[in-house]
Every structure is written in structure tokens, then in C-alpha cells.
Structure 1
Amino acid sequence: MTTTVIDLGFRPHVYQRQVQAGLTEHSFAVVVAHRRWGKALDIETPVPLADGRWATMGKIRAGDEVIGSDGRAVKVLFAHPVMHERECYRLTFASGETIVADSEHLWVTTRKCDRHHWPGRGPTRVRNEPRPAATRTTAEIARTLRSRGEWNHRVALVAPVEYSERDLPLDPYLLGQWLGDGSTRASEITTADPETVQEITVRAAAHGWTVRDQCSQSTGRASTYRVNGGMQVRLREMGVLGEKHIPDCYQRASIAQRTELLHGLMDSDGAISTQGHYCEITQKSERLAQDIVRLLRSLGMQPRCGVKRAMGRDYVRIKFRPLMQVFSLPRKAARYRPPPERLRWQAIVGCERVTSRSVRCLTVDAPDGQFAVGHYYTLTHNTRLAIALLVDRALRCRLHVPRYAYVAPKLKQARQIAWQYLTELAEKIPGSRRSEAESWVELPNSARITLYGGSEGNEESMRGLYLDGVVIDEVAGMAPHVFPEILRPALTDRKGWALFIGTPHGADAFLELWTRAQADRDWFTALYRADETELPWLPKSELEAARRDMSDAAYRQEFLVDFTASSSDTLITIDIASAAAQREYLEHQYGFAPVVIGVDVARFGDDRSVIQVRQGLTAYRPEIYQGIDTMALAGHAARAIDRYAPQATFVDAGGMGAGVIDRLRQLGYRIVEVNFGGRSSDDHYADKRTEMWFEMRDWLEQGGSIQNMSALKTDLCGPTYEFASNGKVKLEKKDDLKARGLPSPDLGDALALTFAEPVFAPDRFQRDSRRYPDTAEM
């Protein structure tokens, strides 16, 4: 028998090998890893900021906001230290923009074969849908710059940049008309279009101004109209009289306001081709021409400038493909044709090796890791273990028709992250095939690996399947029922395995999964902090620089994988809860303290009723019940009171709690009812529940000991707090926690109830004071 050895080209480092070994011994694994080191651009590369200003890569700082691929602001989590002696390339784009990047910088591109591919042979060949864009390095782009005589790679154009709406001194359409066909030194506009005259009149009237025909004799069939009442004063105040240009406040206005300005310019001075594919606007003023180019770029278009010679002088001609309607004048707007999708991408037309430059990387808080750079807003990019693991396991599987899956929050995201690398690995395996339309790769042994989305209804396509293995990426972004209701049953029939991977993003469903997995012997868990992994591409000097430059919360989340660091308003961090879970006290260290019981009563079917006993610095193991009625819960609470003889028993009075309180009082127990929404005894807090949770946080920090239970730690680390309009602190509501994918913090509430009121030591009371009758206090 001949054995075929297939080299997939994947060389896992020591920590990735640990994960592989963990999945060999366990069916389920949760891996939390720090942010990988990014790639770099020349420090002189201009970067548009979210507030409309510009800065170079070398000037960007953590906390700044840049422009993401969707045109919205994204925060810079970390501006990495400047690196030297890197292999660098100059990339040239179809727009004429050039950007210098190091060889490992990442770009999201489509190739020619992705855009035009015809699988099959002969008459059966049918053109498929274009393949999705994929992430590629600069060096890879340089090697494959051209394909069959054409430019191979294209990058997406950024969406129109979203700035906030501004209170502008002059209607943007009116300003656009004046900039295009207005008198340089007066509030006069020349036009031959009755629709334009009507529009100018309406917009001027909104300012309280009037429009009057100047009866010009020198403009042919066009007439000059003067806007009276204050427009000229506004123009002078903006500094545009005598030197036409677009004021900066208009360049930083909202998309709608900038579009109105462009409509005014194009209605007055613009033209569109007969087919509606190209637009043009010509200007005498070079400054105004540059401002129009900037305006077009911020709206997602790629203008080109040239020189037009007319009447003995040079004019600046701006030509561009309209990716949106740029006219409101009916005769021009009628020619516009929506562009094909391919025009929303621009080609890379050059990638040549250059002398090494000082380069730098930014890590941004964006789902796709992309942000805009350069004056043309070019998009650049900021799991290979999972895909390599899927392919390796699929090849080795000896079961009949093996099935594997890679699941990301959205199918589009799964394709962007995983498809390119999955197909690259499959191409190394003779006899493999794939389906672009259905996003699967099939190996020679009939094993199939399919990409799925785990939210927005896409997860239903996985229901009813069987799976031998699944990788679940960024589980916090998926619908909460995906694993327990869909994927877990799919793995049951053939005893399949599951690998969860991700980075912390606050106290969310991923934290709940992580803490639960730690307490289950059937699960493998691994958490890799940057200061412990000692990977060669992330030296300690770089980590020290990151700690200096980043906020403490950002550093802890991105490099120390702290789930609660991302929210500066998290009340109890995972460090506090974990430390409390590791503490143990001997009985003589807490036995003198009063015993207190807290009872949290479930409100809904999926909530839990919890009885929590605490004595001094020690919290006993909570009793957790689900799906029981108030009478049964009251019985459990009565037995706990008899067993522990508490000095106080606090019961949640909300929802079904009143029934438990009434029953316990019928049985003769002394109960203190607590209304979570009631008034706090401390004016700093908005309600009683907030006060109790802050008291509990102080107790934990001062040495409190809790049981090492994942559910308890998840509950404690879940809620955030905010300041209400009256300045008082308020804890996050249970419903808001559920909306974030976290369970109701019933265990946390039960422990917090033990801090509802001060309770004195046992020697201040009779032991039987937990019950009536009145003789107990005699």
C-alpha cells in the first residue's frame, strides 16, 4: 500500500500545537488569544481622521478615530512603535495614489480569477458569481501583480465618510451653485435653467432672502440673479469672496450636506456623458478644483485631474465615474446610470520594491480590521490555525462522508476570513473540489468543509446537519442558541469536536462560555497572554512600548486578554472575581461573624432562583433552582434558615418574590423583604440594587471569598454601571444584560442581597430570633 504525504505548508508554533493536542484529548476546546502583531505602512502616509482632519501614520495615537471601510469612525486601539529596516514596496493605485508598505502588510483584494472564472469545460462552462475578496500581503501582490496581461488585484473603495451634521452658515446647495456659476465678488448666480432659478429662490427664502433678475446683456440666453438680504455678508464671513473655495466646515459636514453641495456644483458647472458613465467639472481656480477633488473622495469617488486648454488659458478638468446621483437638475440627472459593482473597486497598477522606510502599524477597533489611508481613502487591513486544523482532521477522518464547518457571526465575514486560505490549502490536495456558490471545499475522501454564518437567520441552514468537527470564531457575535440548539446536537451523533476561538470584547457570551468550560473536565481551555507566550514577532520591548502608549483598559483587553478590561464601566472585573474564588478561610477566621442569607427569586422560565449563605468574608456554595414554584422555593429557604440559623434573611420582593415572603412569614420566619428598585440608603446610588452591588464589590476587594463556580464569576463580571441624568450611579438592568447575550445575574443578585442592610454579630441577638414569637427578644 502506497502512502501519500501531503504538505499543507502550515507550521504551527508551540502554542498552536498545544491547542491541537488539547483537541486530541478533549471533544471541546475554548481558546482565548491576544491580538497578533500588525503590519506596517510608511510613517509619512497620510491618514484621514474621523473629524475631517488629516494626520500621518507617524502622528497617530491610540484613542484617535480614523475612517473604517463603511465610512464610519473607528477607534485606534494601538499605534504600534515605529519599525526600521523592513522590506518595503511602493503600491500605485489606478487613482494615481501611491502608498509605501512593508512586505507583510495586509490588503483585502480581489484577483482577476476571482472576478471572472468559468468552471467546467466546453459548452458546459457557466460563469459563476465573483469570489469574495481575500486578505493578501504586499509581497504576494507584488508576485502576482498582473494576470494574462491585465492588472490582477483590486481594492474596494471606501464608503462615503460619515461626519456629523453641522449647523452651516449657508445652504450647501446654494453655496455649490455660487461656487460653480456665481460672481467671484458678489452674491450673484448666472443660469439658463428655470428649475435652477426656482431651487435658488426656495433655498434663499429659507434664509429670509429674495432673488432678483439682474437682466444681464452679456450672458446669451442665461440670466444673472442676485440674492439680496444677507448672502453676500455670509460669503464674506466665510472668506470665499474674491477667492472661491469650499470652507472646511462643509468638507466635514454630513454625507447629506456634502451631497447637496456637490449637487449645486454639478448642476451649475458639471457635465455628464451621454451614456451616463462619466462626469466632468472644469474650474479656473486650482484651489477650488482641489477642494472639489477632496469632496468627491470623501463621498467614495475617485476623481482624476487633467489640464484643459481653452481661450488661451489652462483650466483644471476633473473627471470621475459617478457612484451616486450627483445632480438634482432634471435634464442632467436623467442621464445618470447606476454603476456596475466592479466600479466600486480600483486596481493596483504598480508594486515595486523601494528602499526601506520607517514604517508603523495601527490596530483599529473594526470588525474587518480595515481603515482608510492616503488622500484617496484607500482601504488597508489590520486563523490560519483553525482552517489548517479543519483540513488536517478532515483528511484523516475515516468515517463515512465526513462533514466539518467553520462558523463566523456572518457568512460574508466567514468567507472574507477563511475562504481564501481554505481554497489555497485545498489546491495542494490532488482531487479536491469546491463550490463557490455554497461555500464548501470537498477533499478526495469525500470530507466536506463548509462556511456558515451564525446570526441574522443564517444559522438555520445548519439545523438538522451532522458534523464531525466545527470551528466557531467570535462566538459572542452569534445568536445565543447557535451552539446549544444547533451545533451541539449536530456533533452528538458522531461524537464530533468543537473549537471556539476569539479575543475578549467585554463581559459577553464568550466570557460565559469560557468560565463554564474551565469548570468542565471534558473541555480543554487555553488563554494566551502576550506577556506569557514569548512569540518571536512580539518581543518584550514592543509590549513595554504598547503598555506606555495604550490606555490600561485597551492594553489589558488586546494583549492580556482581560474580558472585562474593554469596559471601563464594568463594576467587578474578572481579576477581582478570580482572586475571590481562589481565597479560602478556616472556620475560626469567619465563625464569629453574623450569618446572612439572600434569596433571589426567578422572574421568568430561564431565570434561576438562588439561595446564598454568607458568613463574614466567606460565601457558601449557593443553592440553585430552576423551574420550581414559590411554595417549593419557600420550603428550600426554610430548610436553609433552620440549618444555618442566620441573623438576617433578605428576600427579593420583586416579581414572584412576594409569594415566597408571604409563605415564609406564614411559617413563622423573620424575613426582610428587599425591593431592588427601591430607594437607596446612600444618595450616591439610584436604587437599592445598585447600592448592594457596590457594597458587594467592596467586600470582594477587601478579601471576600466565593466558590470557584464559572456561573457565579460570569454573573459577577457581567453588569456595568452608568451615571443617570440626576448624577446618581445606576447598575445595568437584567434585560440589558440579556440583550448582550449574558444570562440574568441571579447568583450575583443573591450574593448582593446579603449586603442589603448592616447585620450585627450573633452575640447581639438570640439564636432563635430568626423566628417569631415575640418572646424571642425578651
Structure 2
Amino acid sequence: ALALDTPLPTPTGWTTMGDVAVGDELLGDDGRPTRVVAATDVMLGRPCYEVEFSDGTVIVADAAHQWLTETRASRKSAQAAAVGYNRHKNQRTFAAVRTTAEIAETLRCPTQDRRLNHSVVNARALELPDREFLVPPYTLGAWLGDGTSAAAQITAADPEIIMRIEADGVVAVPSGSAPYRYQLRLPPGAEQAPRRCVVCGKSFIPQTSQVRTCGRSCGGRARFMSDPVPSPTCVRCGGPSAGMRLCLKCHSTVGTLQARLRTIGVLGNKHIPTEYLRGSEAQRRALLAGLLDTDGTVTVGGAVQFSVTNQRLARDVNELIVSLGYRCQTSTKRVQGRSETSSIAYTLTFSTEDKVFALERKAIAHKERRAVTGTSRCGSRFIVDVRPIESVAVRCVEVDNDSHMYLASRAMVPTHNS
């Protein structure tokens, strides 16, 4: 059982162990939605522990809560089978379900170096359906990284970033206000089709949908020569309009890219909206690529880093990274900012063999540097401590997938239903 305040990711956002109910959906270790089929009442007086992982995540669980862990023996067995060292290419020791109390007793190996024993394999990338977004994911990621907070503008010295934004269907217009700054706009809407004047028959392109004559000389006679024109309607909502494609309300919410940034809540408030964090894997990878192409770097050792002074954006990017099956660590340091809130830099670090940059020069640097150090241990978290604590209220659920696993905490750590 887990503490009631333990965050649990869902296909649409988050819940907690205290709030989840039978019939609700959580996420399994395979990244797929899984349904809660049973839940206990709140339990008191249970022996409890803080389980700390190598990425800094801490989860409060009772002594009987179960985890699927690899041990040093199973890791060595898997490695030996992979390369044929055991002569049979078959694994002898495997991951097993163990309780918190059992992990506490065998936290370190009974060897002279007392190295850590238990590890938990990362969850798979979340498998969720495509969503329709007002702002394309890559463009949003690039704007969150290097965009002007209060406007649909981006500063990018690398033309490849602008090319990828334009590939999203967004028009990037160079701005005269600063070098490398671009105004981001939606492509022009479909123009009114040419029509013939109802009076003289001349072909013309109307400015608005209800115009039926070519000019003033014909306008006064139109009402005597044609039926009344239907009231113009908005192509988006169907409501009355002034003859333009969109009514005033729709134009102010989706008619420009800046309006769309305002509608999704990020204009002047940079963060990743929840619906983007629960988009499909391809959409989330495009969003991450936009963020990393603008504000991401590759360390000497081949790890990927993203640094920002916006705490909320840092938390959202961390969630985005772990939703793709990566282990992410966050560090902070003091910097010279304009205010106290902007004087702390949050640096997110993760390692992967996957291509996470769309920008070619960064993708090449990532590939070359990670080849030197390797990423063999990036697919799991080690349990670094299991500390007894005072008993807290806990609760347990059962899910309906074959592995009986679900994800817990903001780091989306796989755990077993007890």
C-alpha cells in the first residue's frame, strides 16, 4: 500500500492514491491505460518506509507493498545470457516481486564493496491516442524554449529551427525589431472565390461573403435584381459573422497564432498544457524536440540536458521526459536573474539511445558523445535507501493488466499492486 498523497498518473492527467476509485484508469508499466478493479479502505498503523531512488524520487510505502525489482544477480545473469558467457545464452536469474521490507533487508549486496542491489526498470513510453492541438507540438516546444513570452515571436539563429516550424504549417516572418527574431503567424485563410456581379455580370473577388456587386455603381440596383443574401455565418462555429470567415469570438480565440497561444493558456505564462503532456508518443516527441532544439544541450558524456529558470516549465518538461520512458534527474543552482524567482536555474538531465533532437547538429553531437560513454544503465532506477518512518495512512489498489503493475509518483515509477 502507498501513502494517500502519492501522485498517480492517468491517461488524462493525475490523481492520488487517496482519490483513485474502482473503475478509474491508471497507467501500466507498458505505458497503456489500465483499469482499477479493486481498492482497499484507508489503512492505519501499518509499518511504513520511505523508498528512495537514484533519481531522487521518494515514495512512501508500507512494509507489505510489492515492487518488481532486478537484483545484482539477475542483472549479471541477463548480461551473461546476452553475450553467451554462461554457455547457454539463457538467463538463470530473473526480476522478482519483493516487498518493501524484503528490499530493506537486502538493500545492498553482501559483498565487500556493499554495492546497491535492487533496481526498477523504467516504464515504457505512454501509449495514448493522437490529439488535435491548436498549436503544433514542435512549434509550441520551440516557442517555449526561445519564444517571447507575451507574443507569437521566436528568436532563433539556426535556420533549421525556422524550417521545422514552417513545416508545421506556421509562417515565420523576419521581424525588424531584433536580429534573428521572427513573427509567427498562421497561413492566410482561403480567399473568397471569384463571383459575378448580379447587376453587370463582371467577375470580382468580394471582400466579405455577403457582397454581390462589383462596385458602387451596381450596388444600388442589386436589391431589385436578386434575392436577399443569407446572413453570413462563421465557418468554425456556424454563428453569425460580419462576412469574414470567422466571427469575432472565434477570431479572438483561434484566428491568429498569438490568439491560440492565449487560448491554450501559455501566453505570458510559459508551461506545457496537460493535454500536450497526454498526447500521442509522436506528438510528445515532437514537443520535446522543439524544446531541446532551442534550449537543450549535450554533455561531454553524451547525456541530454535542458535548463530553464521557470520552475513550472521545468516540472512540466520533467513530466514530458519521464512520459517517454526516460529517467530524469533535476538539479538546481543560483544564477543572476532579474528577480528572485528567475535566479534559480533548473537543469534536467537524462540519457537515451533515442534520437531526441530534430536539429541535425545537436543530433549528431548526441550520437557521437553517447557512443563513447554508453547508456546501458539509463533504463532503470536503483533503490538507494529504504528508511523506516512513522506510520501514515496508506491504501492499495489492484489493476487489470497482466503484469499487475501501475505507475506511481511524478517520476512514473512502476510498482506492483499489493
TM-score by length of 1: 0.40
Report the alpha carbon displacement of residue 258 of structure 1 after superposing the two structures with TM. Answer: 1.0
1:79, distance to aligned residue in structure 2 (A): 0.9
Would the aligned equivalents of 1:43 and 1:57 in 2 still touch at CA under 8 Å? yes
- Taking the aligned partners of 2:386 and 2:405, their CA distance within structure 1 comes to 20
Aligned counterparts of 1:359 and 1:284: Cα–Cα separation in 2? 35
* Counterpart in the other structure of 2:17: 57
Q: Flag the 1:232–1:348 CA change in 2: closer, same or farther, 3 A.
A: same
* 1:90 aligns to 2:50 (yes or no): yes
Alignment of 1:550-561 (within 5 A): none
Alignment of 1:198-347 (within 5 A): 198-203=163-168, 206=169, 209-215=170-176, 217=178, 223-229=180-186, 230-276=256-302, 278-311=303-336, 313-322=343-352, 324-337=354-367, 340-347=375-382
Structure 2 counterparts to residues 312-711 of structure 1, below 5 A: 313-322=343-352, 324-337=354-367, 340-382=375-417
CA distance in 1, matches of 2:79, 2:323: 39
**Equivalent residues, number:** 330
Per the TM alignment, residue 266 of structure 1 is displaced from its structure 2 partner at its CA by: 0.3
Secondary structure of 2:356's aligned partner = coil
The AA in structure 1 aligned to 2:330 is C
Identical-pair percentage: 38
Structure 1 pair 129/191, CA: closer, same or farther in 2 (3 Å)? farther
SS, match of residue 334 in structure 1? helix
- Does structure 1 conserve the Cα–Cα contact (< 8 Å) formed by 2:304 and 2:366? no
Q: Say which structure is richer in helix.
A: 1
1:322 deviates by: 3.1
Query: 8 Å contact 2:7–2:409 — kept in the other structure?
Result: yes
2:297 is paired with a residue of what secondary structure? strand
Other-structure match for 1:168: 133
Q: Does the 8 Å contact 1:78/1:364 carry over to 2? A: yes
Match of 2:160 among 195, 198, 216: 195
Alignment-mate amino acid for residue 182 of structure 2: Y
The equivalent residue for 1:143 is 105
> 2:128 is matched by which residue type in structure 1?
Y
CA displacement at 1:186 relative to structure 2: 1.4
Partner of 1:192: helix, strand, or coil? Answer: coil
RMSD: 2.4
Is the contact made by 1:201 and 1:210 (CA closer than 8 Å) also made in structure 2? yes
Change (3 A) 1:156 1:125: closer
Give the match's secondary structure for 2:8: strand
- Return the index of the structure with the highest Cα Rg: 1
Cα pair distance change 1:365/1:308, threshold 3 Å = same
**1:422-470 CA distance string (max 9 Å, x none):** xxxxxxxxxxxxxxxxxxxxxxxxxxxxxxxxxxxxxxxxxxxxxxxxx
8 Å Cα contact 1:118-1:125 kept in structure 2: no
Q: What is the CA–CA distance in structure 2 between the aligned matches of 1:320 and 1:87, rounded to whole Å?
A: 34
- Aligned residue for 2:237? none
3-state SS of 2:365 partner:
coil
Q: How many Å separate the matches in 1 of 2:126 and 2:167?
A: 28
Separation (CA, whole Å) in 2 of partners of 1:72 and 1:263 = 23
Unaligned runs of 5+ in 1: 1-39, 383-778
Letter of the 2:131 partner, please give it. R
Query: Amino acid of the residue matched to residue 110 of structure 1?
Result: E
What is the identity, as a one-letter code, of the residue corresponding to 1:335?
A
> What is the distance in 2 between the residues matched to 1:119 and 1:239?
48
Higher relative contact order (CA 8 A, sep 6+): 2
Task: Confirm whether residue 111 of structure 1 aligns to residue 71 of structure 2.
Answer: yes
- Whole-Å separation in 2 of the counterparts to 1:310 and 1:62: 47
Taking structure 2 as the reference length, what is the TM-score of the superposition?
0.74
Tell me the SS of whatever aligns to 2:133: coil
Instruction: From the superposition, tell whether residues 354 and 67 of structure 1 become closer, same or farther in structure 2 (CA, over 3 Å).
Output: same
- Cα distance in 1, alignment partners of residues 415 and 8 from structure 2: 11
Q: Tell me, what secondary structure is at the counterpart of 2:124?
A: coil
Amino acid at match of 1:249: E
User: What is the CA-CA distance between 1:357 and the residue it aligns to?
Assistant: 2.1
Query: How is 1:712-723 mapped onto 2 (pairs within 5 angstroms)?
Result: none
Separation (CA, whole Å) in 1 of partners of 2:385 and 2:103: 9
